[in-house]
């Protein structure tokens, strides 16, 4: 059974090499997650280590999915930094190893991020993904709403400009559909 767990800043440093391998594998597989191929594993590990401070400060959250001793997937959540946006968070870097795809792991990672965001008072989540990518099926099936596309928004791993589709999802609502109050004093 694959276990999904949040990681602290120091743990992120510990897992940086494994997460780098996942990131390189994801980019090499053609998924658009912000990097161009070929991605150097050392540079990928450095990128993960650089996130540790913001995770420790509560600006970002990262979860890993462990399948035995191996990381099978990850997801990140970036908290909005400005006072008028503290009700909002952005999903970032949802990645699942190709060998673990099609087994519901991406959905479980997304659910973990959504649940945590709602528990922290977030009421709106946003994300973007390459238009036409397999990830769009996951987001739609998980109740995310498409809100538009921008042509040539980001380059795919091969450097070709592709359109990006943006999605949102309301979370943290009570059973009656009302938005729960957001505590403005909560540190993000």
Q: What is the pLDDT along the chain (188 residues), one digit of tens a residue?
A: 899 999 999 999 999 999 999 999 999 999 999 999 999 999 999 999 999 999 999 999 999 999 988 999 999 999 999 999 999 999 999 999 999 999 999 999 999 999 999 999 999 999 999 999 999 999 999 999 999 999 999 999 999 999 999 999 999 865 444 444 333 333 33
At residue 181, the pLDDT reads: 38
Interstrand relation of 88-96 and 124-130 (parallel, antiparallel or unpaired): parallel
At residue 173, the pLDDT reads: 67
At residue 187, the pLDDT reads: 34
């Amino acid at each position: 059974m694959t276990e999904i767990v949040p990681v602290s800043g120091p743990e992120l440093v510990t897992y940086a090499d494994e997460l780098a391998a996942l990131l390189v594998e994801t980019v090499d597989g053609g998924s658009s997650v912000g990097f161009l191929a070929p991605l150097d594993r050392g540079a990928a590990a450095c990128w993960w280590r650089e996130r540790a401070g913001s995770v420790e400060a509560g600006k970002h959250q990262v979860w890993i999915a462990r399948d035995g001793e191996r990381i099978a997937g990850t997801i990140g959540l970036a908290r909005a930094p400005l006072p008028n946006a503290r009700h909002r968070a952005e999903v970032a870097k949802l990645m699942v190893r190709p060998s673990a795809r099609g087994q519901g792991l991406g959905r479980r990672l997304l659910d973990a991020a959504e649940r945590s965001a709602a528990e922290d008072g977030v009421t709106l989540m946003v994300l973007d993904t390459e238009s036409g990518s397999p990830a769009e099926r996951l987001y739609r099936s998980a109740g995310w709403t498409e809100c538009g596309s921008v042509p040539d928004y980001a380059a795919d791993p091969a450097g070709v400009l592709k359109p990006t589709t943006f999605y949102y999802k309301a979370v943290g609502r009570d059973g009656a559909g009302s938005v729960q109050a957001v505590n403005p004093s909560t540190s993000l």
